[in-house]
């Protein structure tokens, strides 16, 4: 089974803790913002389209009424009736009189019209209000003329190119009936598309969005690009075929389409009086630009946080594992030295078998040395216990750091909530701005109807000022929320600083662990000195022949216990290496930190004699377990 190192696990865990919440919050915020912005944009587009459709409808209704009023004028009826009866050559006086009347009407209605004309029932124009500019032109082939003759009702025609000027116009025609009710002619009112464009194109939608007008055949009537008027038909554009059919269905709606490779959001509303359709559109990338900026900021911030967290955890893991590697190296070398010393004790035991009675005193010193070694070993165990306590404290500090990070996440959630409130207020401002625009449009329509006597404009202007005050109030609320968001960001920064301080405490605890384990190394060295004295005492046993067997047995038993303890220590070192480095093999850090090994093998005659600390009460065989010499158990190692 392949084990990962402690440093790898800490880095991976730190990255996961940072990356997963950031990814979830970032994705949710981006999706939520996109949906909200798209919904607001769609509603705004639809409202603007409906407003423009209402404006265009009012204009066409007014023009239709004007055409009807002119067609039922006494002069118009009299002239048309006489022409129908005697022809144009015999009605020149009446035609001149009608020309004058139509010319006066042109002066009154303004520059939004190309002209006014009257034709006979064969479509031949014989009178106009533009100094004869239309006379002699035949409109017999025009669909609107045919429809007016067939139905006997006023007709608002689709946009066509004027036979007089070649420019796009919208003809509005009304039938002329004689006093006896017979159709005797057609009166036409030619509206310039420029007049419609002034109203439709006056509305600005974002930076690049715009509105345009198409007739019931899909032909372009009003467009920001004048070259497209009457040259473009939305039904003939493959990318817009589906949405174009919906636009011409006679119902309002929303949709999306691609035009010249640019995805666009659109809304459309029909004009009831003529069947034209007002369309508003804006590129998707434009109204989602802020959302994309938010998404990019979240991604960049998340990556920076993850990199900083990974670097911090990596640095922390390195500062934690390096001292532990040095301690493991010392423990491993100590185990090898203990094993070597045990071999020397075994050699000394063979020498004791040939010794003399003086070996009794040497055995007492040997026993005293062993007791000192046991005391040192207990000291090592005590230090190891303190090291374990330090590690428990380090664990508590890390848990506290986790709580601090949780508080940081909570602060970020509060920032998100504040942002949502900001979004609502901005929505209010947007709605107020839209209504202000509508009132401005209504004011323009009112002024157009009333002419110079625009009494109703004052009421509308007053309502505009009220809406402006509401917009200012919403802006102030937005400013307050943004300030609150900044405060919460500062709080998050404070929490991160606190986390850094707690990680410093962990570093101090690990340093103390290194100092305690250094004491363990010192005690192990003293153990080696005791073993040397034991070897010296065994050399003296050579003179005491009567006690050779008993002394040799005890020495052999001690050597076995030391070997067992050395093997246990090596096993413990391997387990610690598996936990820290992920492998039982020594990493480079341990190999570099290991001190040079010195041979401690000596002959029995070279072992120094150590004076006993106290007399041995019993010389019987005593079995000492490895657990009593160095009381490390499985649970302590795991917690370490």
Tell me the per-residue pLDDT of 379-394, one tens digit each, with 9 for 90 and over.
Answer: 766 776 776 677 677 6
Q: How far is CA 69 from CA 98, 107, 154, 447, 511, in A?
A: 14, 16, 11, 21, 102
User: Who wins on pLDDT, 446 or 532?
Assistant: 446
Nearest to 194 by CA among 215, 224, 173: 224
- Structure token pair of residue 618: 């019993």
What gap in Å lies between CA 266 and CA 243, rounded to an integer? 9
What confidence tens digit (pLDDT) does each residue in 390-407 have? 767 767 776 776 677 677
What gap in Å lies between CA 451 and CA 475, rounded to an integer? 36
Beta bridge partners of 282: 265
Question: What length does the chain have?
Answer: 640
Cα dihedral 143, 145, 151, 156 sign: positive
Q: What is the mean pLDDT of the segment spanning 120-132?
A: 90
What's the confidence (pLDDT) of residue 638? 46
Q: How far is CA 279 from CA 158, 244, 257, 413, 440, in A?
A: 16, 10, 12, 40, 20
Placement of tokens 């998050």 in the chain: 492
What's the confidence (pLDDT) of residue 518? 65
> Domain 6-63+201-287 has what CATH class?
alpha beta
What confidence tens digit (pLDDT) does each residue in 189-238 have? 999 888 888 888 888 887 888 999 999 889 999 999 888 888 899 888 88
Residue 413 CA to chain centroid, in angstroms? 14
Query: To the nearest whole number, what is the mean pLDDT of the chain?
Result: 75
pLDDT band at 352 (very low <50, low <70, confident <90, very high): low
What's the confidence (pLDDT) of residue 582? 60
Q: What is the mean pLDDT of the segment spanning 427-437?
A: 73
Say if residues 120 and 84 touch (Cβ distance below 8 Å): yes
- Structure token pair of residue 101: 């009347």
pLDDT band at 100 (very low <50, low <70, confident <90, very high): very high
Strands 168-177 and 155-156: what pairing?
antiparallel
What's the confidence (pLDDT) of residue 214? 92
Contact residues for 541 (Cβ-Cβ < 8 A; gap 6+): 351, 352, 355, 356, 358, 359, 362, 363, 547, 548, 551
What confidence tens digit (pLDDT) does each residue in 260-286 have? 888 888 999 999 988 899 999 988 887
Residue 234 CA to chain centroid, in angstroms? 37
Of all residues in the chain, the percent with pLDDT exceeding 90 is 13
What's the confidence (pLDDT) of residue 626? 41
pLDDT band at 608 (very low <50, low <70, confident <90, very high): very low
**DSSP state for residue 270 in the 8-state scheme:** E
- 530, exposed or middle or buried, with CB in 10 Å at 0-12, 13-18, 19+? buried
Q: Which of 125-129, 157-161, 200-204 has the lowest mean pLDDT?
A: 200-204
Q: What is the mean pLDDT of the segment spanning 98-125?
A: 89
Of all residues in the chain, the percent with pLDDT exceeding 70 is 66
Say if residues 275 and 60 touch (Cβ distance below 8 Å): no
Say if residues 369 and 538 touch (Cβ distance below 8 Å): no
What gap in Å lies between CA 178 and CA 141, rounded to an integer? 24
User: Who wins on pLDDT, 43 or 215?
Assistant: 215
Q: Cβ–Cβ contacts within 10 Å for residue 36, how many?
A: 16
Q: What would you report as the CA-atom Rg of the chain, rounded to the nearest whole angstrom?
A: 51
Helix (H, G, I), strand (E, B) or coil at 189: strand
- Structure token pair of residue 464: 């505009």
What's the confidence (pLDDT) of residue 329? 74
What gap in Å lies between CA 363 and CA 341, rounded to an integer? 17
What's the confidence (pLDDT) of residue 185? 94
Q: How far is CA 380 from CA 2, 158, 518, in A?
A: 32, 103, 10
- Tell me how many degrees the CA angle 122-128-130 measures, rounded to the nearest 5: 145
Q: What is the pTM of this model?
A: 0.47
User: Who wins on pLDDT, 238 or 117?
Assistant: 117
Beta bridge partners of 219: 233
What's the confidence (pLDDT) of residue 398? 67
What gap in Å lies between CA 480 and CA 75, rounded to an integer? 69
What gap in Å lies between CA 631 and CA 17, rounded to an integer? 37
175-182 contacts: CB < 8 A, separation 24 or more? 175/71, 175/148, 175/149, 176/71, 176/72, 176/76, 176/77, 176/80, 176/118, 177/77, 177/152, 178/77, 178/80, 178/81, 178/84, 179/77, 179/81, 182/84
Q: What is the mean pLDDT of the segment spanning 88-107?
A: 90
Cα dihedral 358, 359, 360, 363 sign: positive
Placement of tokens 């384990």 in the chain: 517
What confidence tens digit (pLDDT) does each residue in 526-573 have? 665 665 665 566 556 656 656 766 776 777 777 777 778 777 777 777
Strands 168-177 and 253-259: what pairing?
unpaired
Say if residues 507 and 318 touch (Cβ distance below 8 Å): no
Cα dihedral 359, 361, 367, 369 sign: negative
Q: How far is CA 82 from CA 90, 95, 98, 120, in A?
A: 8, 10, 12, 11
Beta bridge partners of 186: 119, 175
Q: Is the pLDDT of residue 353 over 60?
A: no
What gap in Å lies between CA 350 and CA 538, rounded to an integer? 9
Cα dihedral 72, 78, 80, 85 sign: positive
- 196, exposed or middle or buried, with CB in 10 Å at 0-12, 13-18, 19+? buried
> Domain 72-191 has what CATH class?
alpha beta
Say if residues 148 and 174 touch (Cβ distance below 8 Å): yes
Strands (E), 129-252: 155-156, 160-161, 168-177, 183-192, 210-214, 220-222
pLDDT band at 574 (very low <50, low <70, confident <90, very high): confident
pLDDT band at 583 (very low <50, low <70, confident <90, very high): low
- Structure token pair of residue 376: 């040192």
Say if residues 162 and 169 touch (Cβ distance below 8 Å): yes
Q: Is the pLDDT of residue 32 over 90?
A: no
Helix (H, G, I), strand (E, B) or coil at 221: strand
Q: What is the mean pLDDT of the segment spanning 446-455?
A: 69
User: Who wins on pLDDT, 155 or 338?
Assistant: 155
Q: Cβ–Cβ contacts within 10 Å for residue 523, how many?
A: 20
What confidence tens digit (pLDDT) does each residue in 476-524 have? 777 677 777 767 766 766 766 676 676 667 656 666 766 665 676 676 5
What's the confidence (pLDDT) of residue 365? 74
What's the confidence (pLDDT) of residue 305? 79
What's the confidence (pLDDT) of residue 186? 94
pLDDT band at 41 (very low <50, low <70, confident <90, very high): confident
Strands 155-156 and 220-222: what pairing?
unpaired
Nearest to 7 by CA among 220, 15, 271: 15
Question: What are the backbone dihedrals phi and psi of residue 628, each rounded to the nearest 5 degrees, phi first?
Answer: -75, -35
- Structure token pair of residue 598: 């010195």
What's the confidence (pLDDT) of residue 573? 74
Beta bridge partners of 175: 186
């Amino acid at each position: 089974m392949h084990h990962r190192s402690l440093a790898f696990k800490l880095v991976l865990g730190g990255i996961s803790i940072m990356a997963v919440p950031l990814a979830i919050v970032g994705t949710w915020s981006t999706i939520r913002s996109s949906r909200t912005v798209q919904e607001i944009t769609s509603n705004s587009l639809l409202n603007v389209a409906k407003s423009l459709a209402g404006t265009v409808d009012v204009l066409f209704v007014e023009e239709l009424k004007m055409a009807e009023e002119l067609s039922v004028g006494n002069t118009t009826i009299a002239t048309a009736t006489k022409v129908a009866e005697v022809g144009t050559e015999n009605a020149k006086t009446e035609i001149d009189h009608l020309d004058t009347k139509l010319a006066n009407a042109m002066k009154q209605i303004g520059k939004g019209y190309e002209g006014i004309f009257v034709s006979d029932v064969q479509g031949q124009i014989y009178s106009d209000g533009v100094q004869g500019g239309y006379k002699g032109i035949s409109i017999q082939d025009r669909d609107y003329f045919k429809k007016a003759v067939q139905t006997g009702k006023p007709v608002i025609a689709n946009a066509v190119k004027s036979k007089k000027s070649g420019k796009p116009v919208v003809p509005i025609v009304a039938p002329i009936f004689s006093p006896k009710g017979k159709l005797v002619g057609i009166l036409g009112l030619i509206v310039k598309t420029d007049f419609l464009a002034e109203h439709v194109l006056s509305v600005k939608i974002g930076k690049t969005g715009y509105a345009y007008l198409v007739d019931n055949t899909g032909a372009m009537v009003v467009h920001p690009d004048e070259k497209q008027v009457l040259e473009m038909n939305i039904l003939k554009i493959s990318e817009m075929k589906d949405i174009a059919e919906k636009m011409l269905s006679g119902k309002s709606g929303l949709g999306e389409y691609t035009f010249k490779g640019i995805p666009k959001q659109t809304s459309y509303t029909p004009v009831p009086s003529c069947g034209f359709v007002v369309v508003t559109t804006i590129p998707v990338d434009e109204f989602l630009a802020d959302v994309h900026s938010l998404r990019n900021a979240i991604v960049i911030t998340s990556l920076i946080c993850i990199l900083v967290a990974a670097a911090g955890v990596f640095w922390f893991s390195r500062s934690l594992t390096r001292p532990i590697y040095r301690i493991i190296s010392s423990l491993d070398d100590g185990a090898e030295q203990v094993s070597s010393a045990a071999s020397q004790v075994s050699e000394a035991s063979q020498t004791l078998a040939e010794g003399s009675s003086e070996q009794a005193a040497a055995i007492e010193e040997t026993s005293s040395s062993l007791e000192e070694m046991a005391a040192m070993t207990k000291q090592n165990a005590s230090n190891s216990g303190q090291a374990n306590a330090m590690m428990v404290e380090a664990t508590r500090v890390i848990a506290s750091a986790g709580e601090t990070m949780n508080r940081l996440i909570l602060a970020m959630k509060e920032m998100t909530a504040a942002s949502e409130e900001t979004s609502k207020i901005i929505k209010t401002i947007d709605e107020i701005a839209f209504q202000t625009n509508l009132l401005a449009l209504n004011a323009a329509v009112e002024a157009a109807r009333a002419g110079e006597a625009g009494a109703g404009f004052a009421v509308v202007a007053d309502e505009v000022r009220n809406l402006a005050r509401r917009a200012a109030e919403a802006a102030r609320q937005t400013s307050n929320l943004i300030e609150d968001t900044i405060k919460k960001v500062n709080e998050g920064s404070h929490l991160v600083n606190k986390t850094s301080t707690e990680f410093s405490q962990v570093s101090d605890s690990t340093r103390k662990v290194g100092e305690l384990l250094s004491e363990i190394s010192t005690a192990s060295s003293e153990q080696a000195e005791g073993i040397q004295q034991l070897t010296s005492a065994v050399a003296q046993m050579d003179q005491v022949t009567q006690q050779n067997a008993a002394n040799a047995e005890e020495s052999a038993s001690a050597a076995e216990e030391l070997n067992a303890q050395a093997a246990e220590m090596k096993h413990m070192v391997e387990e610690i290496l598996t936990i820290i480095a992920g492998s039982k093999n020594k990493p480079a850090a341990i190999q570099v930190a290991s001190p040079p090994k010195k041979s401690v093998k000596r002959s029995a005659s070279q072992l120094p004699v150590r004076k006993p600390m106290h007399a041995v009460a019993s010389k019987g065989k005593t079995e000492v377990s490895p657990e009593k010499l160095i009381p490390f158990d499985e649970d302590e190692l795991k917690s370490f």
